[in-house]
């Protein structure tokens, strides 16, 4: 049986990946609002996902305000597919 990806097994990181799965990209404020995370915690989790190559983060200035947007990478999609398949394996053993 495959081990669950510890990076995706976190509630907040799984929520971020799930949200990004359904959109082309999302900005920091959208993710913060949808996950109800604090700015600091969201930043840390986004960095972890980015360092793993699961998401891409783009920072830019729009008008005079900074804007951070995130996009799910193919590696992130693949990791989520494996994670879901692993969960199904686990559930199949107990159901």
Digit-by-digit pLDDT tens for the chain (95 residues) are 678 899 999 999 999 999 999 999 999 999 999 999 999 999 999 999 999 999 999 999 989 999 999 999 999 999 999 999 999 988 887 76
What is the number of other CB atoms lying within 10 angstroms of the CB of residue 61? 8
Q: Residue 44: inside a domain, yes or no?
A: yes
Residue with tokens 């830019």: 60
pLDDT at 1: 66
CATH number (domain holding residue 53): 1.10.10.10
pLDDT at 92: 86
pLDDT at 95: 65
Query: What range defines the domain where residue 16 resides?
Result: 11-94
The structure tokens listed for 10 are: 């976190």
- CA dist., res. 34 & res. 87, Å (int): 24
- CA dist., res. 82 & res. 34, Å (int): 24
pLDDT at 91: 87
Q: Residue 81: inside a domain, yes or no?
A: yes
- CA dist., res. 87 & res. 68, Å (int): 31
């Amino acid at each position: 049986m495959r081990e669950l990806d510890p990076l995706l097994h976190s509630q907040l990181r799984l929520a971020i990946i799930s949200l990004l799965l359904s959109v082309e990209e999302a900005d920091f404020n959208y993710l913060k609002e949808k996950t109800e995370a604090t700015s600091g915690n969201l930043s840390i989790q986004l960095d972890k996902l980015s360092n793993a190559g699961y998401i891409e983060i783009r920072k830019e200035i729009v008008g005079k305000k900074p804007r951070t947007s995130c996009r799910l990478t193919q590696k992130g999609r693949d990791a989520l597919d494996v994670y879901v398949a692993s969960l199904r394996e686990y559930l199949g053993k107990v159901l």
